[in-house]
Amino acid sequence: MPWSKIKPELIEPDFNQETKENGRLLSYAEAVREALDQALDLDPNVFVMGQGVDDPTGMFGTTLNLHRKYGTDRVFDTPLAENALTGIAVGAAIGGLRPVYLHNRPDFLLLAMDQLVNHASKWSFMFGGAVHVPLTVWACVGRGWGSAAQHSQALQGLFMHIPGLRLVTPATCYDAKGLMLAAIADNNPVLIIEHRFNFRRQGFVPEGPYRVPVGKGIVRRTGKDVTLVAFSYMVIEAFQAAEELLKDGIEAEVIDLRTLRPLDEELILSSLAKTNRLVIADTGWKTGGVTAEISALMAEKGFYYLKAPILRVASPDCPTPAGFSLEEAFYPGAQEIASAARSLFNKGG
Amino acid sequence: MNSKYPQELLVSLYRDMLRIHNVQLRIESLYHLDEMKTPIHLCIGQEAVAVGVCANLKREDYISSSHRGHGHYLAKGGNLGALIAELYCRETGCSKGRGGSMHLVDTSVGHMGSSSIVGGGIPIGTGLALAAKMKSQDRVSVVFFGDGAADEGVLYESVNFAMLKKLPVIYLYENNQFSVCSRVSARQAGEILFHQAPPELLMSRIVDGNAVLDIYEAVGEAVARARRGSGPSFIECRTYRVRGHAGSGSDAKLGYRSEEEIMDWAIKCPVTVFGEDLLRGNMISEAERSKMVEEIKREIDEAFRFAQSSPLPKGEDLLHYLFDE
C-alpha cells in the first residue's frame, strides 16, 4: 500500500547549493530523525513522545529506534489522549524539560486545541512572562491514497490565527532538520506542520547540528517578472511552475516562507517591489487561510507595487475526497500556479 | 481536639485559613467599588482544602489551580501583595496585570499558573509531575480541580497517564457541589469512578472538605506515597461553595438553592469551627486569636495599599511577554 510507505525516490531541486558540498544525501525522514537524535544527544532535557514513536516504522522513520538509543523514558509511546498529553507536555515544559510531541496527522491536533490554544500559546503572556513553554509539536499532513476528509487536513490556516504560537512549515530536507533543531531550542511553543509528499524526496543535509532561524523565509529561485510565494510541499510545485513559466519567457521568483508565524513579510515585500506580481500557493483551504492573510498583508503594505491582482492557489472549500479522480480536482499544483501566473500577463498587467 | 498534632501546626493551619478567609472578605467588601476590574471567584467555605493540602507541601512542590484559586495561591505561599495587585490589574501583580483574578502565578513557591478553562490545569499539573520524575527531583505535584472539571474527559486522560507512569501527583478533587448554578448531581450519575480504581494504581480517599485535619492527614498519606515513587492519588474533599459562582455576596435570590441549605453549610465554616475547637482545647487563647486577627488585618491593609498605589501596565507594552525572545 503506497499510503503507508512513501519511498524517497526523488531528489529535491538544487535548493541549497552551499550544502551540496558539505552535506550528504539523506531522505526527508532521515533528516528529521537526525535532528531528533542530535537534540536528544545534546540536551538531556529533550524528550520525544507520541503515538507510535517507538513502533517498528518509527513515525514514517523520523523516530526509528531512537527509543533503543535513548531509552523508553525519553522516547515513549503515548495513550491516544491528545488533549491531556498536550497539556502534560506543556506541564513538562514548564517544569524545565523540552518535549517534542509527534502526531502522524494534524487532524488529531483538533482534539488538543484546548491545550494548544487556551494554554500553551497563552501561558507566557497570561502570566507576564513568569513562565515559558518550550514545547515542539509536530504533525504531518496526509495526502493521497484516499486519505480522505479526516486524515489529510492541512490546518495551518487555523493555527496561523493564534498569537503566541510559532508555526513552522519546512519544504526541504535541510530545513526539516534545521527547523526542527531551531524549534526544540526555542523557549516558546512551536508547531511544525509537515507534509507527507515532502517525504518522497532526498536532499543534501550537513552532518552536524545547525538551526534554520524561525521567522525567516528564503528565495529559492530568483526572477524578475512574478513572485510565487509558497511553503511546505507547495514550494516544490512552485519551483516546477517557475520552470514551466520560463518556457513562456516569464521569470518567476520563488519564495519559500519556511515559517508562517512569525511571517517574513519583508522578504515578500522586497520581492514584490521587484516583480510587481504575486501568486500565493497553499497546501490547505483558501477561505480565511494562509493565502488570505498574506493577500491582505500585501494589499495593506504592498498595494502600490502591484500591477495586477494578487492570485491565490489553494484547495477549494470542501473536505478532501477519498477517490483519486476527485483528489486530482481537489489538489492544485504546478499547473495551477503556472496558469495563475500567466494570467497576470494575459490581462494586460 | 485532636491532640496527635503539635500545637504549632494546629495554630498555623488555623492562621492560614483565617488569613485566606479574611482576604476573601476584604476583596468582597470592596468589590462593589469596581476598582478590581476582574471577575472574582471566592473560596469562602473552602479554606480548609487549600490549607490542609498545602501544609503537606514543600516550597519546591508544584500546585496547579483553577479560576477559584485565591486560596490555593495563598496556602502555597504566594505573595499576598502581588495577588491583590493582580486583582487591581497592576504592573506589580503576580501576572503583571495580564492575568487577573483567574490567572495567578508565583513560580518561587511552585505555583506555575492557574487556568480558567475548567479542567485545563489537570494535565499541566500532571506534566509537572512528569518533569519532576524525569529530572529525578524530590517534588510532588498537586492538581486542584472542582466538580465541574470532574465532568471533563481530560481528567480521565490525565489520571490514566499518571497511573501508567506512576507519577508523583495528587489529584485533589475539591467537590463544592456546584458548577455555576448546576448541581453536581445533575451532571454526574453517582460517586466519581476514580474511587473504584485498584488502590495499587491509585490511592483514593473521600474526606470531609471542611475538616482541615482530615484533609491534612489524607493528603499527607498521598504525598508520602508520591515521594516513595508509588504513584498517584485521588482525594475528594466534599465541601460547599457558600458564595455565588462569581462576584460578591449571596446568590440565594437566584433560587437554584435554598437560603436554608446555604445557612446549613455556612455554620460549618471550616475556619470558625476549627477556631472554636482550638479555643476549647486550649491550643490558643482568645487574646492570641485577637492578636492574630489584628496582624492579618494589618497585612491585608498593607497589601491593598500596595496594590492601589501601584502603576498600571502601559498600553505601549501590550505585546510584551507573548514570547520569550
The 10 Å CB-count burial string (b at 16+, else e) for A298-315 is beeebeebbebebbbbbb
- Give me the half-sphere count of Cα atoms (radius 13 Å) on the Cβ side of residue A122: 20
Residues of chain B with pLDDT under 50: none
Residues of A noted as catalytic: 82, 151
Q: Under a CB-based contact definition with an 8 Å cutoff, are residues A128 and A94 in contact?
A: no
The DSSP line for A66-110 is HHHHH-TTTEE---S-HHHHHHHHHHHHHTT-EEEEEES-GGGGG
Query: In which residue are the cell numbers 539523506 written?
Result: A26
pTM of the model: 0.96
CATH placement of domain A218-346? 3.40.50.920
The Cα–Cα gap between B30 and B311 comes to 19
Per-residue model confidence as pLDDT tens digits over B59-84: 999 999 999 999 999 999 999 999 99
Are A81 and B96 a contacting pair at CB < 8 A?
A: no
Per-residue model confidence as pLDDT tens digits over B147-169: 999 999 999 999 999 999 999 99
Q: Under a CB-based contact definition with an 8 Å cutoff, are residues B115 and B142 in contact?
A: no
Q: Which residues of B touch A118 (CB under 8 A)?
A: 115, 117, 120
| Closest Cα in chain A, distance from residue B228 (Å) | 19
Touching check for B105 and chain A: CB below 8 Å? yes
Touching check for B103 and chain A: CB below 8 Å? yes
The Cα–Cα gap between A115 and A94 comes to 13
Give which of A138, A264, A112 is closest to A190, Cα–Cα: A138
Are B322 and A86 a contacting pair at CB < 8 A?
A: no
Interface test with B, best of A43, A127, A191 (most B CBs within 10 A): A127
The Cα–Cα gap between B31 and B249 comes to 10
Per-residue model confidence as pLDDT tens digits over A47-93: 999 999 999 999 999 999 999 999 999 999 999 999 999 999 999 99
Give which of B15, B42, B4 is closest to B274, Cα–Cα: B15
Per-residue model confidence as pLDDT tens digits over A159-202: 999 999 999 999 999 999 999 999 999 999 999 999 999 999 99
Q: Which residues of A touch B117 (CB under 8 A)?
A: 114, 118-119
Touching check for B320 and chain A: CB below 8 Å? yes
Q: Which residues of A touch B115 (CB under 8 A)?
A: 118-119
CB neighbours (10 Å) of residue B164? 14
The Cα–Cα gap between B286 and A256 comes to 75
The Cα–Cα gap between B207 and B216 comes to 10
> Regarding beta strands A166-168 and A259-261, do their DSSP bridges make them parallel or antiparallel, or are they unpaired?
antiparallel
Q: Which fold has domain A12-206?
A: Rossmann fold (3.40.50)
Touching check for B73 and chain A: CB below 8 Å? no
Class (C level, CATH) for B44-79+105-285: alpha beta
Q: Under a CB-based contact definition with an 8 Å cutoff, are residues B62 and B95 in contact?
A: no
Which grid cell is A301? 503594505
Touching check for B109 and chain A: CB below 8 Å? no
CB neighbours (10 Å) of residue A140? 23
Report the residue from B122, B153, B321 with minimal CB separation from A129: B321
Answer yes or no: same fold for A12-206 and A218-346: yes
Rounded mean pLDDT, A231-246: 97
Are B164 and A79 a contacting pair at CB < 8 A?
A: yes
The DSSP line for B250-310 is --GGG-SS-HHHHHHHHTT-HHHHHHHHHHHTTSS-HHHHHHHHHHHHHHHHHHHHHHHTS
Angle at A251 between CA A250 and CA A254, to 5 degrees: 125
- Domain boundaries defined on chain A: 12-206, 218-346
Per-residue model confidence as pLDDT tens digits over B214-248: 999 999 999 999 999 999 999 999 999 999 999 88
Phi/psi zone of residue A112: left (φ > 0), alpha (ψ -120 to 50 degrees), beta? Answer: alpha
The ipTM of this complex is 0.96
Touching check for B314 and chain A: CB below 8 Å? no
Are B107 and A126 a contacting pair at CB < 8 A?
A: no
Which chain B residue is nearest to residue A129, measuring alpha carbons?
B321
- Domain boundaries defined on chain B: 44-79+105-285
B282 contacts: CB under 8 Å, gap ≥ 6: none
Q: Which residues of B touch A130 (CB under 8 A)?
A: 94-95, 105, 107, 113
Q: Give Cα separations from A210 to A33, A215, B55 (angstroms).
A: 14, 16, 47
Are A127 and B105 a contacting pair at CB < 8 A?
A: yes
Are A128 and B113 a contacting pair at CB < 8 A?
A: no
SS3 letters for B135-192? Answer: CCCCCCEEEEEECCHHHCHHHHHHHHHHHHHCCCEEEEEEECCEECCEEHHHCCCCCC
CB neighbours (10 Å) of residue B225? 17
Q: Which residues of B touch A98 (CB under 8 A)?
A: none
Per-residue model confidence as pLDDT tens digits over A194-236: 999 999 999 999 999 999 999 999 999 999 999 999 999 999 9
